[in-house]
Amino acid sequence: MTEGLKGHRITVEPSERHARVVHGGQVLAESDAALVLHETGCPDRYYIPAGDVRTDLLTPSATTTHCPFKGDASYWSLPEAPDLVWAYPDPKPEVAAIKGHFCFYEVEVS
């Protein structure tokens, strides 16, 4: 767990739920080994191991963002869905567990 400015907190833990990402009827990711990241003021996000993601369907994007708590994110796209997925190739030490994992905006969990 990290606690930053004014009580901002992040925790990363193994998810007990099955995570699945479907876009346009195609399964992009499916995993029983996802991590769930809880962050103050943000929805829970599921980080799926790279081996469980159809990276062959994704194209790297030029988009990057910076989070003061997680580090610099890189993005990937589908032809009809820009910046659909992101990852932190070199996350801050406090959230190092998310390295090698991808995060999607829409994840079904069961």
Q: Using the structure block, give the residue that is written with the tokens 């962050």.
A: 39
Q: How far apart are CA 80 and CA 82, in angstroms?
A: 6
Looking up residue 44, the CATH number of its domain turns out to be 2.170.150.40
Write down the pLDDT at residue 106. 87
Q: How far apart are CA 74 and CA 45, in angstroms?
A: 16
Token pair belonging to 103: 């995060």
3-state SS, residue 96: helix
Size (the chain), residues? 110
| pLDDT tens, the chain, 110 aa long | 454 556 789 999 999 999 999 999 999 999 999 999 999 999 999 999 999 999 999 999 999 999 999 999 999 999 999 999 999 999 999 999 999 999 998 899 98
Q: How far apart are CA 94 and CA 64, in angstroms?
A: 20
Within 10 Å of residue 53's Cβ, how many Cβ atoms? 22
Q: Count of domains in the chain?
A: 1
Write down the pLDDT at residue 22. 96
Question: Half-sphere exposure (CA, 13 Å, Cβ side) for 28?
Answer: 23
3-state SS, residue 15: coil
* Max Cα-Cα span within the chain: 42
